[in-house]
Amino acid sequence: MPTSIRSEEVESTFREVLERRTVNVRIDGRSVSIPKPFPSPEDWRDQWIYFLMVDRFNRHPAAPPNHLPFDGQHGVFQGGNLEGIRQQLPYLQELGVGAIWLSPVIKNCQYEDGTYHGYGFQDFLRIDPRFASDPAAARSDPAVVDRELMRFIDEAHARGIYVIFDVVLNHAGNVFEYDGFGAAAPFRSNPYPIQWHDQDGHPAFDNISQVINLADDAGIWPKELQRNDVFRRQGKGGEAAGDFESLKELVTAHVDATPFGGVFDIRRTLIRAYQYLIARFDVDGFRIDTLKFIEPDFARTFGNAMREFALSIGKKNFFTFGEVFDDEKKIAQFIGRDAGATEDPVGVDAALDFPLFFKLPGVVKGFAAPTELVGLYETRKQVQKGVVSSHGEASAYFVTFLDNHDMKERFYFDDGHGTFDRQLTVGLGCLFTLLGIPCLYYGSEQGLHGRGNADLAVREALWGKPEAFDRNHPFYRTVRQLAAVRQSQPALRYGRLYFRPVSGNGRDFGISPFKSGVIAFSRILNEVEVVVVANTNLQSAFSGDVIVDASLNSDNSPYQVLFSNKQNPTVPGLVTTKPAGSVRIQEADGGTTTGPIRTVGLQLDRGEIQILRIAS
């Protein structure tokens, strides 16, 4: 196994990946030929992402989770593995998944059972043996888990599913401890004395660069990281600097002096390590953890380096998106084409859409008015002026979601009576039709509903649930239908977004200003308009009108329902013109107009969402 970014194993992998070839993969009893390296999708907006935690999705050979109940708050390994995920690829393919985002699979500290989540890297060039179907065999021979990971990725590719790795640039695992404090220490302005861990997790040496014959499970790997000065060593901190509890922060701004000037050796090491993972495992994209904690110029350098390497091996659209748990202005520093940057203006491709997450669940659940969404997108339009070149292009720069592994509760609330089932399907409908690349958190399609006082509550061991992979579950069917509608309607993937005023009396129109209101918007691409209308009120139906584009809709044109979360939905009325002076419209920008307008009449049940377009 490689011990350095310059190891022969790394160099030979870089040479071999340039030799493009075809391999045959067995799936469903037949042989499928796929090219390697596997080509990127033409446009990531054509995909949607399924995010799963490797330790919490499925296990093979079949066995119950290590700790019960399956949905309890267990902060240790539950036994999920890569082979378990591979076994459920047909399930994910039928769901319509375009890409699978795996929680980190890179090797963590083997002496810690609490890093089941994968974010505490100890060896940036190896895969964690605990994600193998036989962890003991994988510890003895790392090639065991490598083969299982490659088999999973090849079979995913053969099914038309892309694979995204979760990676970290900001920190490593609990690879050393602070003298007198242990794994974590309070932040201070200068470095602490430290003791690096041996293979059993015991403090063993204060200067790792002087250690001879360092064990594979000790300290940090590759050897280019075996330096005290590339770690912060100042204890727990925040955005400016410092560890995440026991996860030790790297100094990614560290500069080494050379005869040719200063170089960012730590950045070069991380870049080459992750390029190696692309070459070795044929991965299609990276989700970058804690992106906002690194320097924006490093984010741009890293994004460009991954993009260029992938291009060099035939992956023409390698996807990078980052976790920027912040507002619009912060996100704009990291993604897309930043016209204000003087150097390296192109950053990572996209960011997780936290601003939408801060708003959409509350609007769908009736805690906030639909006007909150309008305000969000108006702010985004202003902030992203130097990033995107057109309104619809913004879809490519955001990965949208309703919940994830870092929350204390899932979006879905189960009261045992199905009271809030439509609330989830309205949320899913909005997720699959608003601007962005949708990302579904594992188990949502099976009704997982964890909630508690920590993120452990939403990290259930899915396979422990009775009928865990039920393809007839109503939520599974809903996701499958929404995925098919999104795939059939280019406007939902590339189109511009316009929020639409609605009216309950046919005269007074506006964006719903009240909680439990009606969400209404259009996605327009060229001459096609797709209208999405959702009644978030679970107690009252809605009967009224929604404004549609006057130039794209003629009088008496019929609309059809592409999707509804209600059986036998009421078909919308015909397009109707309301003459000037007969209506009063409160526009999204705050202005008032009086027509003329064209509208479509609607009858929405309690908690119903409809996706509509003119009947063809």
Q: What is the DSSP letter of 444?
A: G
Separation of alpha carbons 394 and 291, rounded Å = 19
Is the pLDDT higher at 295 or at 278? Answer: 278
Percentage of the chain modeled with pLDDT above 70: 97
Residue 305 confidence (pLDDT)? 95
Residue 237 near residue 221 (C-beta atoms within 8 A): no
Query: pLDDT class for 311, splitting at 50, 70, 90?
Result: very high
Domain boundary among 229, 251, 273: 251
User: Which candidate, 121, 85, 87, 95, places its Cα nearest to that of 106?
Assistant: 121
Q: In 432-536, where does DSSP find H-type helix?
A: 474-488, 490-494
The region of weakest confidence among 117-121, 127-131, 257-261 is 257-261
Distance CA 425, CA 446 (A): 12
Instruction: Say yes or no to pLDDT of 253 above 90.
Output: yes
Residue 296 phi/psi, 5-degree rounding, is: -55, -35
DSSP 80-93: --HHHHHHTHHHHH
Residue 2 lies in a domain: no
For residue 393, what pLDDT is reported?
76
Asked if residue 285 is part of any domain, the answer here is yes
- Contacts of residue 220, defined as CB under 8 A and 6 or more positions apart, other chains included, come to 122, 123, 172, 175, 196, 208, 226
Under 8 Å CB-to-CB from 32, ≥6 apart: which residues? 24, 25, 26, 158
pLDDT digits (tens, 9 = 90+) for 194-229: 999 999 999 999 999 999 999 999 999 999 999 999
Express each pLDDT in 562-604 by its tens digit: 999 999 999 999 999 999 999 999 987 889 999 999 999 999 9
Q: Note whether 543 and 586 are within 8 A (CB).
A: no
Pairing label, strands 542-548, 508-510: unpaired
**3 state SS of 333:** coil
Distance CA 156, CA 154 (A): 5
Out of 236, 251, 266, a domain closes at 251
- Answer yes or no: do 140 and 268 share one domain: yes
DSSP structure string for 359-399: HHHHHHTTSS-THHHHHHHHHHHHHGGGT-SSTGGGGGGEE
Q: Are 556 and 575 in contact (CB under 8 A)?
A: yes
* Band of pLDDT at residue 551, cut at 50, 70 and 90: very high
Using the predicted structure, report yes or no on whether residue 384 has a pLDDT greater than 60.
Answer: yes
For residues 189 and 337, membership in a common domain is answered with: no
Q: Is the pLDDT of residue 66 over 60?
A: yes
The whole-number average pLDDT for the span 414-427 is 98
Final residue before a domain boundary, out of 456, 488, 520: 488
* DSSP-assigned letters across all residues of 196-239: EE-TTS-EEES-GGG-SS--TTSS-BSGGG--GGGB--S-B--S
- Note whether 109 and 193 are same-domain residues: no
Percent with pLDDT over 90 in the chain: 87
State whether 434 and 498 are in the same domain: no
529 shares a domain with 431: no
Residue with tokens 């380096």: 305
Whether residues 383 and 362 share a domain: the answer is yes
Shared-domain flag, residues 72 and 118: yes
Whether residue 365 sits in one domain with residue 230: no
Partners of residue 524 on adjacent β-strands = 496, 529
* 153 within 8 A of 37, measured Cβ to Cβ: no
pLDDT digit string, tens, across residues 325-383: 777 777 777 766 554 454 554 578 999 999 999 999 999 999 999 999 999 998 888 88
> What local confidence, expressed as pLDDT, does residue 444 receive?
98
Task: Give the residue-averaged pLDDT of 17-23.
Answer: 96
How much is the pTM? 0.97
Q: Which long-range contacts (CB under 8 A, 24 or more apart) does 267-274 make?
A: 267/298, 267/301, 267/302, 269/5, 269/222, 269/224, 269/225, 270/124, 270/169, 270/302, 271/301, 271/302, 271/305, 271/306, 272/5, 272/10, 273/5, 273/124, 273/125, 273/222, 274/124, 274/167, 274/302, 274/306
Residue 202's pLDDT is what?
98
- Tokens representing 53? 């935690």
Q: Is position 47 within any domain? A: yes
How far is residue 216 CA from its own chain's centroid?
A: 31
Q: Which pLDDT tens digit goes with each residue over 166-203?
A: 999 999 999 999 999 999 999 999 999 999 999 999 99
358: CB partners within 8 A, 6+ apart: none
pLDDT at 96: 98
| Of residues 344, 321, 376, the one with CA closest to residue 167 | 321
Burial 487-520 (b: 16+ CB within 10 A, else e): bebbbbbbbbbbbbbbbeeeeebbbbeebbbbbb
In a domain, 3, yes or no: no
Position 1 in a domain: no
Average confidence score pLDDT of the chain = 94
19: buried, middle or exposed (CB in 10 Å: 19+, 13-18, 0-12)? exposed
146 domain residue, yes or no: yes
Q: Distance between CA atoms of 173 and 424, rounded to whole angstroms?
A: 36
Q: How far apart are CA 139 and CA 136, in angstroms?
A: 5
What confidence score (pLDDT) does residue 339 get? 42
Is residue 68 situated within a structural domain? yes
Q: pLDDT band for position 391 (50/70/90)? A: low
Asked whether residue 75 falls in the same domain as residue 209, the answer is: no
Amino acid at 246: S
- Average pLDDT of 517-539? 98
Any idea how long the chain is?
A: 616
CB 115 within 8 A of CB 459: no
321: in domain: yes
CA angle 277, 280, 284 (to 5 degrees): 65
Tell me the pLDDT band of 248, cut-offs 50, 70 and 90: very high
We report the CATH number of the domain holding residue 505 as 2.60.40.1180
Tell me the CB-side half-sphere exposure of residue 466, using CA atoms within 13 A. 0
Q: Look up residue 415 and give its two tokens.
A: 């009261």
Q: In this structure, what CATH number is given to the domain that contains residue 97?
A: 3.20.20.80
| C-alpha dihedral (148, 153, 159, 160), degrees to nearest 10 | 180
Number of domains in the chain: 3
The amino acid present at 81, given as its one-letter code, is N
Q: How far apart are CA 190 and CA 264, in angstroms?
A: 21
What's residue 388's pLDDT?
A: 63
3-state secondary structure of 255: coil
Quick one: pLDDT at residue 337? 52
Q: Give tens-digit pLDDT for 430-463.
A: 999 999 999 999 999 999 999 999 999 999 999 9
Q: For residue 69, give its domain range.
A: 8-170+252-488
How many whole angstroms separate alpha carbon 530 and alpha carbon 519? 14
Query: Alpha-carbon distance 161 to 378, whole Å?
Result: 34
First vs last Cα of the chain: how many Å apart? 59
pLDDT band (50, 70, 90) for residue 298: very high
- Amino acid 296: pLDDT: 87
Same domain, residue pair 147 and 179: no
One-letter amino acid at 469 equals F
- Residue 517 scores a pLDDT above 80: yes
Residues 122 and 210 in one domain: no
Residues 165 and 175 in one domain: no
Q: Which pLDDT score, from 0 to 100, does residue 345 have? A: 47
